[in-house]
Chain A
């Protein structure tokens, strides 16, 4: 049971390049989310999904796209990378219908945009 798996672990991009951060979970969780972590700011929600085919914006969605074609996968796309997107990105998943609804986090992707 792998939990939440993120790839790649590290990535360096040039300004203007595009890329996709991958996130997969094997717990059959309905809810999945993407956060970015910047020093002194905690984690901020980028996009989230409540099930396959359903996504919505979080606090800082600009510059990012998501889609969710399956329950397991929730990729995050950077359309045209900017230095301001240098950050650590975490994917999380949780199960619907439980009062505690604990979110389980992946190991993170450390992204640098030059």
Chain B
């Protein structure tokens, strides 16, 4: 059974600081996703990571994937209030052919303070 664990689950940051959210998963997977969810809203896709060593960046967020360690990180650089949200990682457990079956982490609630 595929398990996905995120830490920390709660993260309170000051504006301008850097921090990293970690996502560990238990079995081999071909795809790892990061999503953002604002309170009461739907999920918005941030990144898709497909291979070992993959790194993607968008603004103040950078995601990376280490398939050997079964670890993905979401690094936040110089946080701003607008980044306050819940961040989920999710793993596609279909082993090659994706059928839209994702296993999600618990989510990290990020709050950025002035």
Contacts and interface: CB of A to CB of B under 8 A. Distances in A.
Interface of A: 31-33, 35, 40-45, 48, 50, 58-59, 90, 92-94, 99-108
Contacts of B101: 33, 45, 48, 58
19 contacts: A31-B100, A33-B102, A35-B102, A35-B104, A40-B9, A42-B90, A42-B107, A43-B104, A45-B101, A45-B102, A48-B101, A90-B42, A101-B48, A101-B100, A102-B45, A103-B45, A103-B102, A105-B43, A106-B42
What size tier do the contact residues of chain B reach? 20 to 34
B25 interface: no
Contacts, number: 66
Interface of B: 4, 9, 31, 33, 41-43, 45, 48, 50, 88, 90, 92, 98-107
Contacts of A45: 101-103
Contacts of A58: 101
